[in-house]
Chains A and B, each alone.
Chain A
Amino acid sequence: MRRFARLFDALDRTTSTAAKRDAMARYFDEAPAADAAWAAYVLGGGKLKRTASSTELRLALAAETGYADWLIDDCYEQVGDLAETVALMLPEGDEGDADVPLHVWMEARLPSLSRLDGAGRIELLREWWRALPRDQVFLANKLLTGALRVGVSHRLLVQAVAQWSNLPTDLIAHRMSGDWRPGATAFTALAAPERADEHAGERPYPFFLASPLEALPDTLGEVGDWLAEWKWDGIRAQVMRRGDGVLVWSRGEERLDGRFPEIEQAAAALPPGCVLDGEVLAWTANEDHPQLFAALQKRIGKLKPGPKLLADAPVRLMAYDLLEQGGEDLRERPLAERRQRLAALVDGHAPTLMLSPSIDAVDWPGLTAVRGESRTRRTEGLMLKRLDSPYRVGRKRGDWWKWKVDPYTLDAVLIYAQPGHGRRSGLFTDYTFGVWDGDTLVPVAKAYSGLDDKEIDRLDRWIRAHTRERFGPVRSVEAVHVFELAFEAIQVSGRHKSGVAVRFPRILRWRTDKAIHDADTLDALRRLASG
């Protein structure tokens, strides 16, 4: 793991994506394929099984160092990361010459831990730590707890593999998409020359992503040059009609096959060799708006949905683009033409396959007025797409804009805080906010983002000085500070103590001008949720 530790260090110490890509490509060149495969898997965000709990790490650390639990807690609070806390508190281990390769850790060591009972697990952890230098203790702990993050996106990893193999990024993205499993053969195969039939395989086209519109829409020029559609609140997906079958890919390039049989059936009736881009929505027949996102969520989690779920939350594809037809890649053609072809293609397949309707307006004020209806139509606002634009790759500004409606807001009181992770580890940056239910504050939202560094520092100091109680890493604080939160939607929820669930809450500003009795009430939120 020594070589992987060096790579991790190199990745950790730079914010330059080019430097990260080079470091990974170099590593893939030098490392044995069996190790490189695991590195690629782990760095690309591949899921790891958690083989040890944080409680076990704490127990082993206390046993190994003799430090009191409270002191371990204090250190953890300062560091904000348990794997690192352990590495910093342990005496430096003696590695000797015995470097255990990464693939041996992943394929033999970690599984061997799973086979042991409680006491044996603690013993083995301690034994491993004693033979590792500090950086490897940290990494081993990260792998054990299944949570290694180092600012490498899947996309960047793909670029690094492409650079190493000297092959196009799209090809590598395809080869690594879906359920790519790490192994020496699988890794070597990534660099194999492209096969002629590979293009028509299962690979989705890279998604084109819209940018948020921050300026006024009239800065975009003539309204007639633009296609306006609703911005649907569902799951972005590519539905591919290939060969004899249908594949469904999420925007995160995960296969959704089997989850939406209605859509697969409808798409199977399309002529082979076509690829649709659109939004999967839960939508009851004869309704004029989709169901809430929560209904769709039940469907995402269910691989083979039963008849009741299918009846309760039927799904449809609101298609808005056509990327391939008759086996031909259409992405360079103008949107207007792609949309025309799409309309003809899905004609007769409604409601399961539908063309996302265009919204016509003679001028920007007219469109702005229609946008005002977004909420009642259960959409997030409008999409604006230039009619002569190609289908680009990734987030490229200029041709596709999302013009969201203003969020809901509420004033809430800070009641709990907990140290953050990553760049903000060691600082109290994860906040829980409450609103009034009679004379008690009930938690309604958790938010992480929205304050600047100065405010975070100030609030962190205040939290440390005004802690009321500690529950592990979480502190309850005196009710003093009011924050304005924004959120996208609110719905009634049986799973939340407050009875409501807010979607995408974030901090808009610290309302130092407000006192806690100015905060909102739960009653008001409930009315909003049921209305």
Chain B
Amino acid sequence: MDGDLLHPRPEGLYCPAGDFFIDPMQPVARAVVTHAHGDHARSGSALYHVADAGLGLMRERLGAGSVLHAHAYGERFVLGDTTVSLHPSGHVLGAAQVRIEGCGKVAVVSGDYKRDPDPTCAPFEPVPCDIFGTESTFGLPIYRWPPMSQVIDELVGWLDDCRTRGVPAVLFCYALGKAQRVLAELVRREPDRVVHLHGAMVRLVEAYREAGVTLSPTVPVSDSAKGRDFAGELIMAPPSAAGSPWMRRFAKASTGFASGWMQVRGARRRRGYDRGFVVSDHADWPGLLQSVTDSQARRVYVTHGDGEALIRHLRDHGVDARPLRSLGTMPDLRTSEEGD
């Protein structure tokens, strides 16, 4: 019976033995939240357990009034009949896998994770377990991430090109995690470059700095005088700003999008950006398979993304893999607004 440790319910993934929810979608009494992305951290619950590395971001997302219990990575704490600990997932600052020990076994829920190095957060830690719940946002073998150094080469090449042509470069990427990762990589290459930020990114970038992450110097776009010419400069904005009136000041800009989906040419062209940069905060196909192997789990539950192909592939290779929803009623698929 795996259902005593993990049992999907309409409110979200529930742990009966510990009487808590992981990343609940509705307000509950006790929540363990893996990371601060909007599709995982939702306000309204009475009490939250989070990793202390992401405390600042969680406050930003859940509201100052929320009751947060912060734990160091690896610290064990008791919830009901279980012992719980949080372990780095390498996804974004403070992102955690949830290890649950109880009923004579160990379950690990990965949350969102990646295996590629990222200067903005602690690297993924393989945690041995009996039951492994993995995400599968990019669960097809066409998704294999290029080394970040190569992507940054391309990015810098694009910036040089924009400078030559005298046009602004507007890079769209999600405001939490992706933006900071790009800024942390960029500062190593071009330490003096000042990056202009869309308003939605400013506080989140500040939260990373407060957590001690070194990023490129930034200024809010709103600090610039009306009519300023951004020729050759880099502006970063969330994807929702594309096509909005905000973009009018960058009429001639070349636009780019940093996302794992940019791996596929059709997806790149469909979105209508000039350039696509393959940068993901999720595991690619080899990363997913590696993590399943590293977990040494006897059973694997797959969530996030339809997961069909990953499950079938694992089963073909002798792994007992199942959809997480087979354990109970899963709520509607999470909108993976930040899932790229």
Residues on A facing B (Cβ under 8 Å): 12-15, 65, 67-68, 70-71, 74-75, 78-81, 84-85, 88-89, 422-427
Residues A14 and B141 in contact, CB atoms below 8 Å apart: no
Binding site for A on B (CB under 8 A): 140-144, 263-267, 269-270, 272, 274-276, 308-309, 312-313, 316
Complex CA–CA separation, A89 to B286 (angstroms): 11
Contact of A423 with B270 in the complex, beta carbons under 8 Å: yes
6 A–B contacts, CB within 8 A, in A order: A15-B272, A68-B316, A71-B140, A84-B266, A423-B270, A426-B264
A88 / chain B contacts, CB cutoff of 8 Å: 141-144, 263-264
Is the pair B141, A84 in contact by a Cβ cutoff of 8 Å? Answer: no
Q: Are A71 and B141 interface neighbours, CB within 8 A? A: yes
Whether B141 and A423, one on each chain, are in contact in the complex, defined by CB atoms closer than 8 angstroms, is no
A427 touches B264 (CB 8 A): no
Q: Find chain B residues with CB under 8 A from A74 CB.
A: 140, 308-309
How far is it, in angstroms, between the C-alpha of A74 and the C-alpha of B274 when the chains are bound?
A: 27
A68 to chain B, nearest CB (A): 6
Does the CB pair A75–B266 fall under 8 Å? no
**Contact, CB under 8 Å: A424 / B266:** yes
Q: A70-B312, A84-B265, A88-B264 are in contact. Are A427 and B270 (CB under 8 A)?
A: yes
Residue in chain A with minimal CB distance to B276: A13
* Contact partner, A78, options B264, B270, B274, Cβ 8 Å: B264
What is the CA–CA distance of A455 and B253 in the complex, to the nearest angstrom?
A: 28
Q: Is B264's CB under 8 angstroms from A422's CB?
A: no
**With A68-B316, A424-B266: A15-B274 Cβ-Cβ less than 8 Å:** yes
Given contacts A13-B274, A67-B141, A75-B141, contact A80 B312 (CB under 8 A): no
Chain A residues positioned under 8 Å from B141 (CB to CB): 65, 67, 71, 75, 88-89
Query: Are A422 and B142 also in contact (CB < 8 A) when A74-B309, A88-B264 are?
Result: no
Please provide the 5 A-B residue pairs with the shortest distance between their CB atoms, ordered closest to farther: A425-B266, A88-B142, A426-B266, A74-B309, A75-B142
Q: Does A79 contact B313, Cβ atoms closer than 8 Å?
A: no
Neighbouring A residues of B267 by C-beta, 8 Å: 426
Shortest CB-to-CB span from B38 to chain A, Å, is 20
> B271 to chain A: closest CB distance in Å?
10
Residue from the set B266, B269, B270, B312 with the largest chain A CB neighbour count within 10 Å: B266
User: Chain B residues near A70 (CB, 8 Å)?
Assistant: 312
Q: Is the CB of A79 within 8 A of B266?
A: yes
Closest Cβ of chain B to A150, distance in Å, is: 10
| Bound CA–CA A422/B267 (angstroms) | 10
Decide if B265 touches A425 in the complex (CB within 8 Å). Answer: yes
Residues from chain A with Cβ under 8 Å of B264 in the complex: 78-79, 84, 88, 425-426
* A422/B269 in contact, CB under 8 A: yes
Nearest residue, chain B, Cβ from A91: B144
B312 contact set on A, CB distance < 8 A = 70-71
Collect the chain A residues with CB atoms within 8 Å of residue B309's CB: 71, 74
Chain B positions within 8 Å of A89 at CB level: 141-142
Q: How far is the CB of B105 from chain A (nearest CB, A)?
A: 31
Report whether B270 and A424 are in contact in the complex, using a CB–CB cutoff of 8 Å: yes
Contacts of B142 in A (CB 8 A): 75, 78-79, 85, 88-89
Contacts of B274 in A (CB 8 A): 13-15
Chain A residues contacting B276 (CB-CB under 8 Å) are: 13
- Complex Cα–Cα for A67 and B316 (A): 10
Q: What's the Cα separation between A70 and B313 when bound, in Å? A: 10
User: Complex: how many Å from CA A88 to CA B265?
Assistant: 10
Given A75-B140, A78-B140, A88-B142, verify A13-B275 contact (CB < 8 Å). Answer: yes
B318 CB, min distance to chain A CBs, angstroms: 14
Contacts of A71 in B (CB 8 A): 140-141, 309, 312-313
Q: Are A423 and B313 in contact (CB under 8 A)?
A: no
* A80/B266 in contact, CB under 8 A: yes
Chain B residues in 8 Å Cβ range of A80: 266
Please, which residues of chain A bring their CB within 8 A of the CB of B313? Answer: 68, 71
Instruction: For A81, list chain B residues within 8 Å (CB).
Output: 265-266
Point out the residues of chain B lying under 8 angstroms from A13, CB to CB: 274-276
In the complex, which residues of chain B have a beta carbon less than 8 angstroms from the beta carbon of A426? Answer: 264, 266-267, 270
Beta-carbon nearest neighbor of A79 in chain B? B264
- Contact partners of B266 in chain A: CB under 8 A: 79-81, 84, 422-427
A423 touching B140, Cβ below 8 Å = no
B140: chain A residues at CB < 8 Å are: 71, 74-75, 78
Q: A75 vs B263: C-alpha distance in the bound complex, in angstroms?
A: 12
Contact between B270 and A12 (Cβ–Cβ < 8 Å)?
A: no
User: A416 → chain B, closest Cβ, in Å?
Assistant: 20
Complex Cα–Cα for A80 and B142 (A): 12
Cα distance, A13 to B276, chains bound together (Å): 8
A68 to B274, CA, bound (A): 35
Cα A14 to Cα B167 in complex, Å, equals 14
Chain B residue numbers with a CB within 8 Å of A67 are 141
Residues of A within 8 A of B316 (CB): 68
Q: Which residue of A lies closest to B273 (CB)?
A: A13
Q: A70-B312, A78-B142 are in contact. List 19 more A-B contacts (CB 8 A).
A: A12-B269, A13-B275, A68-B313, A71-B140, A71-B309, A74-B140, A78-B264, A79-B265, A79-B266, A81-B266, A84-B266, A85-B142, A422-B266, A422-B269, A423-B266, A426-B264, A426-B267, A426-B270, A427-B270
Tell me, rounded to whole Å, the shortest Cβ–Cβ distance linking A30 to chain B: 17
CA distance A84 to B141 in the complex (A): 13
List of B residues within 8 angstroms of A65 by Cβ = 141
Chain B neighbourhood of A68, CB < 8 A: 313, 316
Nearest chain A CB to B187's CB is how many angstroms away?
26
CB A471 to nearest CB in B, in angstroms, measures 19
A75 to B265 CA separation, bound complex (whole angstroms): 13
How far apart are the CA atoms of A422 and B264 in the complex, in Å?
11
CB distance from A64 to the nearest CB of B (A): 12
Give Cα A79–Cα B272 distance, bound, in whole angstroms. Answer: 17
Chain A residue at smallest Cβ distance from B256: A13
Residue among B142, B267, B276, B309 facing the most chain A CB atoms (10 A cut-off): B142
Q: How far is the CB of A151 from chain B (nearest CB, A)?
A: 9
| Min CB–CB distance B231 → chain A (angstroms) | 17
A423 to B269, CA, bound (A): 5
* Residue of B with least CB distance to A420: B266
What is the CA–CA distance of A268 and B269 in the complex, to the nearest angstrom?
Answer: 50
Residue of chain B at shortest CB distance from A86: B142
Residues of chain A lying within 8 A (CB to CB) of residue B265? 12, 79, 81, 84, 425
| Bound-complex Cα distance A281 to B28 (A) | 75
In the assembled complex, the CB of B195 is this many whole angstroms from the nearest CB of chain A, namely: 22
Determine the distance from Cα of A426 to Cα of B143 in the docked complex, in whole angstroms.
14
Q: State in angstroms the CA–CA spacing of A89 and B264 once bound together.
A: 11
User: How many angstroms from the CA of A85 to the CA of B141 in the assembled complex?
Assistant: 10
> Nearest Cβ in chain B — how far from A50, in angstroms?
21
Residues in B with CB closer than 8 Å to A75 are 140-142
Question: Please, which residues of chain B bring their CB within 8 A of the CB of A427?
Answer: 266, 270
**Shortest CB distance B106–A (Å):** 30
CB-nearest residue of chain A to B265: A84
Q: Enumerate chain A residues within 8 angstroms of B270, measured Cβ to Cβ.
A: 423-424, 426-427
**What is the bound-complex CA distance between A67 and B143, given in angstroms?**
14
Measured between alpha carbons, how far is A13 from B144 in the docked complex, in Å?
Answer: 21
- The interface residues of chain B lying within 8 Å CB-to-CB of A14 are 274
What chain A residues lie within 8 Å of B308 (beta carbons)?
Answer: 74
A70 to B312, CA, bound (A): 10
Q: In the complex, which residues of chain A have a beta carbon less than 8 angstroms from the beta carbon of B263?
A: 88
Residue of A nearest to B269 (CB): A423
